[in-house]
Amino acid sequence: MTYRLWALDTSPPKPGLLRVRSGGAAVRGEHWRLPVPEFGALVATLPAPMTIGSVELDDGRVLPGFLVEPIAVEGVRDITEYGGWVAYLEADPTQ
């Protein structure tokens, strides 16, 4: 699977990740472990346009992860070339 990453127009700024059929890249992320009740509580408070979906890791595992509604990436900056949100923030600290 390959992904594209955008700098969403939200406050505070957030990354928006979408799986794409072509033209994507590997994107570095973070792997967090949460007990099921805490995960459920997190999902219940997740603000739009964020969503939870299946994310494929580089080792082949598929886990629940943060994605974004496709409409949220219209007209915002594609930052896939940075390889991840942290790298983007480090390259452009004004964000």
pLDDT digits (tens, 9 = 90+) for 71-90: 999 999 999 999 999 999 99
Under 8 Å between Cβ of 43 and 34: no
For residue 90, what pLDDT is reported? 93
Nearest to 79 by CA among 11, 13, 12: 13
Whole-model pTM: value is: 0.88
Give the pLDDT score at 1: 61
Q: Which domains does the chain have, with CATH numbers?
A: 2-91 (3.10.490.10)
Sign of CA dihedral 34, 26, 93, 70: negative
